Structures are given as C-alpha cells and as structure tokens.
A and B are shown apart, each in its own frame.
Chain A
C-alpha cells in the first residue's frame, strides 16, 4: 500500500476548528479525541472491574467464608463480568476503531462525527447507573452477567437499573457500529478497494455488522425481563405458558456473536502487529478476510452450546456441537496464517510483538478448551465449573485484553507522538503473561475436578490450586499498574516518536506525522 499523495492538512478548513479546554472533550466531533475518550474510559473500567476480581480472588484465597457473604460475592463476580465486557473490552476496541479506521482508510474523520460523540458519552451515563447499583437497597445484581430468569426477575431495584443501563449501552453500540460500517463503506480513500483495506478495518466492518445484528436482540430480551418484572407478562414463567429457557435462547443468540465482537477486532490488531514486527506482509490476506466472515456467519448458529444441560433434544445437541466445532476451521486458518507470517521473517521482539505472540499461543489454548467444551458429553460434566472460567479468560484476557495491550503499545507512539519505555513495557508483558497463567491455568484442573463457579466457598481439596490462582491474580492486578504508569509517563515525558517508529509497519497512518494532524486526511491520499 503506497501513498502517492499525502494530505496537506494545514490549508483546508470549513468548520474545522480545534476547540480547546473542556469543550474539546465534551462536545468533540473529532475521531481521535473521541477515540482517546473511549480508551481512557475503558482503562478506568478495566481497573474498576479488575478491583472487583481482586476481591473475588481474596475471598477464594482460602476455603470458607472470609470476607463476603455469598450474595455479595455473587454481586462481585456478576459486576466484574458485566463491566469488563461492556465497560472495558468493548469500549477499548471501539476506541481503536475510532482512532485507526479513518487513519487506515485515508478518511478525514468518521462518517457521523456527532453521533460518534453521543456513542461515547452514553457510556459514562450507563457506567454511572451500573456502579450506582452497588448502593441501592439489596445491592448490585448477583445473578451472573447472563441475567438468567427466574433469578433476574426476583431481584431488587439494581436489576431494573442494570436493564436500563444495558439499554443505554446497546444504543451506544448500535450507533457506534452504524457509524463504523458507514465510514468503511463510504469514506475510503480513492483506490482503497475493499480487498486492499488493512485487516483491522475488515475485522471491524464484520464486527460492526454483528453488533447491529445482535445488540437489538439483547435489547428485546432484557425488555422482556423488565416487563416480566413489572408489567405482569409471562415470557419466562412456565405458569403462563412461557419458558425460562427461552431467555437463554434469545440471550445466547446475542451472546455468542458478542464474544466474537470482543475477539474479531483483536484478531485485526494481531494481524497488524505480527506482519510489522516480522517485516513480512500478512500471509494469506484474502483467506484471513474469508475466515473472519465465516466465523461471523457461524456465530449465529452455535448459540445453544451454552445450554447443553437445559434438556434439549439430542438432535439439537448434535447440531450445535458440530456447528461449534466447525468454527475451529476458520480460526485455525487464522492461527496458521499468523504463524506462516512469522516463518522466515526478520522478527524483533518489542513489547507489542511480545503481546502478539503471547496472544497467538494463549488464545489458541482458549480456543482448544472451547473445542473441549463443544463436545456435548464433556460439556455436561464441565458446565458451570471452573473449566469454563479458565476457558473464557484464556480467550478474553489472553485473547482480547492482551491484543488490546499489544495495540496500545503499537499505536501509542502514533497517538501521543512519544515513545513508551520499552524496558517497562517488556517487564509489564512478562509479569502479565506469567501472572495470567498462574491465575488461570490451575482453573482448568479445578474445573475438571468439579469445582463449581459462582460459589464463594469450596471443598478442601480445591484449596491449593485456589491459593495459587489467587496469588497469580494479585500479581496480575498489580502488574497492570505498570501499564498505567508506562502509558501516563509516555504521554507526559516520553521521547518524541518518529512518524514511523516501526520499521515493518505499512499502513496509511504511518505516512502521517506523530501525533497526526487534528484532521487526518483532509485531502484523501491515492492508493495504488
């Protein structure tokens, strides 16, 4: 991808004022500023929900009830999951989309700059509502992030507040996704055909489609919860001819694509960093695009693998088992392509690359444990055990979260115009990778031995692994302070970064200055 003309950004203004002070952030219509807001918000929520996880691990440090009553423990696990998903991972990935998509396709901004700002500012509104639930009578929601009835119908005010908060998050996600799709379809620079787009842009195009398709379904599901709670409907009550399992069907029709919403942009980040540090073009670009599209398609027909123990017919179990196992094919294509990109590359191991390689290894472990769980007879044993907890932390932490960290280290020089401290970055990586495995690898053993999740106490034979896991958890939590420190130090007093600090990087954003001008590509570049 070569650019023959690079924008002259200083000369062209219609209403391109660069506001200063607080208005710059509150009323922004600039994709970079809004991206920054998303990223800071998600970092704050990452630490908040991470603190909840520390409390969970503290309670599980030893058997018996030490710190919390069971209902408080369940509030902690529920809110940890809900906030990590909707408050930390998704906003971080949208932050990347905001910063990178216009830069990577040569657009002046997002297609709907004001809508973009609304998508962001709805997040703090929902965040306030969610955090406030800890302080209402009865405490926060405690039925798990999946919100299953009948438990969810019986709880107190926190349940209503959370439903409305999730509605607001849904509005934000849908508007954000529409904005991203429109930007990619309509704002590409001349010559930037779809199959020339960087893979990160492709993953976001498909992710945004998933968001528009499934967030409204979640909205419908939680609306039914709300009417069951307050307006006398019987959607999820068998006495009225409804069915609590119906909620699980509708929820997981949203829920399974949702996990891909959190991983596909991470694939996009990794598909950007690995070629850059291997100094080779991405192996099998077209097959990567088709793999992402197939994963997205399959995500709509696998949802009941979360429900093998709810009593579905054998035919249904077989169907959902096989469709789930099919996902291994396009995912395998991706993993092999990343490895093939590394093959005979001139590889260097800067912090983003370390995180990327860890992603490939550890996400693959999470993918394999997912395959294990896809097997109906095995899943019936492992349903609701710590094996499941281990599985989804391998895909969500060592998958999504570590890809986000790779992306932050990779693009921070571009975004801030300054370099981070490489030594600290590497230290952060090694501590994170080691602590992560100490925390979550033993959970596989705990789950196989039968330890149930969402229970604050456990049998004595689980004590050793839980203590190891908790120690790893505290290490993991503390290590993230290094990340915060490194980012803040980089922005405040890092050494100035070159326009293209990574030798092997080849996407459009590196043709701009670091940091890029206020309006990225006022005159679109021409792509050969």
Chain B
C-alpha cells in the first residue's frame, strides 16, 4: 500500500452567511441594472444597494479568509486548493476575453469583407479597417498605436517588473523591497488607468461608431476594469504586507494577485498588437 504524506484534516470552514449575502447583492444588482437600463426610477437605487451589499460581502468574506490564514488554519493542502482555484479562475477570464477577441477577428476578417463582397444591401461599400460599417459615411481615425498606447504598454510592462521585484523581496524576507515594489506597481497601475481615461477623452470615435468602435471600447474597457480591479487588489496586498502578513514561505495571496496582474499584462499586449497596432 502506498503511504502518501497526507494531512489528517482539511480545513472545512464553519457555516458562513457571506455567500447568501453575495447572492442577495447580485440579485439586487441584476434587477436594478435591468430596471435602470429601462429607465425605471427604482433601478439606480437597487444598483447602489446591491453594490453596497457586495462590497460588505467581499470585505467580510475575504476578512474571514485572511483571519483564518493568520490563525494558521490553512494547511498546505488548503493552499494547493487556492492555487488551483486561482489558476482556473484566470483561465475563465482568458476565455471571457477570447470571446471578444473572437468577435474582433470575425468582424475584421470575415464579416466586413463579406459585406463588401455581397454588394446587395450597400453597393459601393468596400472593406477596410477601421470601419464604422456600410450604413454610415463616418470615417474613423484610430488612436495612433505608437503614441499613448505604446507608453501604456511600457507602463504595464514595467509594473510587471516591479511586482516581480516585490516578489523577490518577500522571498528573501526584505520587507522594504516588498512594500516599495508593491507601491510602485500600484502607482503604475493607477497611471495606466489615468492615461487610458485621457485616451478615451481624446479619441475621435465613440462606442456607437460601428464595429470598430464596439470592439475597441469593449475590449479596452473590460481590460481597463480588470486593471482597476488588479490595482485595488494590489493595494489590499500592500496593506497586508505592511501589517506583516507575508513570510518567505507563506504568501499565496501576494502570488495570486501577481498572477492576476501578469494576466492583465498579457491581455494588454494582445490588445496593443491587434486593436491598436495592426
């Protein structure tokens, strides 16, 4: 018989109210958002209530998990679970973006050329990219790739380096390097978001401008939301590092956020190539 080293117990948490709270939050958010979109006055209130409850839930739930970690309840096997969980969560995010990239490639390489080939509905339409579509005369001046987007690429790539530098810090027990690296990463993330908002303000086209506007704003928009989320998570990690939550051996929360940050980074590189540059 094989004898595997196996911990006698796996930490099974006591019953928790947070999942139910989270469901109420999403119910309120979902109903409220649908009502808001249909101009029902109660909509914004439900959205606000739902968002508030969701925030309370996140703080409460993550707070519980952090307390358990600090109390040493998460044996190695639990941490392995966290690792698998984070890996598959990031994979699901990859597939979410794959859906939008698929739309971009399909529209650019199939739908627009087919519209030009058909010549039935819109005679004289010729395929080009960017395009606002055959139903309008509007032309689109895209954002120049080698201006702000290139700078943003540099910023995000540097932030990937700073977070890795912070990781070396925690591995070697240099708390100051950890804190400084995290702080720099947060600042670079915030800078990226600020520049992205600036770029949106200056862009000569809107989300309503045909398939180019649609794919551009949804891809960059969802990426931007992910950067904001990542920055917020890095900020939490910074505080936890300040309170000395991480040791050279146990710092999975840090690693999870770092993985997430690298994922956001890679998505941006694809965006830079396929949305801005080519």
Contacts and interface: CB of A to CB of B under 8 A. Distances in A.
Interface in A209-238: 212-217, 219-221, 223-224, 226-235, 237-238
A64 interface: no
Given A114-B13, A168-B30, A217 B98 contact: yes
Interface in A168-193: 168, 171, 174, 177-179, 181-182, 185-187, 189-191
Contacts of B121: 238
A28 interface: yes
Contacts of A190: 2-4, 6
B161 interface: no
Contact of B13 (A29, A167, A240): A29
Contacts of B70: none
Contact of A108 (B10, B18, B98, B111): B10
Contact of A213 (B85, B95, B135, B213): B95
Contacts of B8: 12, 523
| Size band of the interface chain A makes with B | 35 or more
A56 B27 CA distance: 29
B132 interface: yes
A129 B27 contact: yes
Interface in B1-50: 1-4, 6, 8-20, 22-24, 26-27, 29-31, 33-35, 37-38
Contact of B19 (A121, A223, A528): A121
A219 B96 contact: yes
Interface stretch (B101-109, B193-201, B247-255): B101-109
Given A217-B96, A233-B214, A191 B18 contact: no
A186 B84 contact: yes
Interface residues of B, number: 77
A124 interface: yes
B211 A241 contact: yes
Nearest to B18: A114
B93 interface: yes
Contacts of A503: none
A109 interface: yes
A284 interface: no
Contact of A224 (B112, B132, B212, B218): B218
B274 interface: no
Contact of B92 (A124, A215, A237): A215
5 contacts: A16-B12, A125-B23, A157-B35, A160-B37, A178-B89
Given A108-B10, A216-B99, 20 more contacts: A14-B9, A112-B85, A120-B19, A178-B84, A189-B6, A191-B1, A191-B4, A217-B102, A228-B214, A234-B133, A234-B214, A240-B136, A240-B209, A241-B131, A242-B133, A242-B210, A243-B107, A243-B111, A246-B103, A519-B12
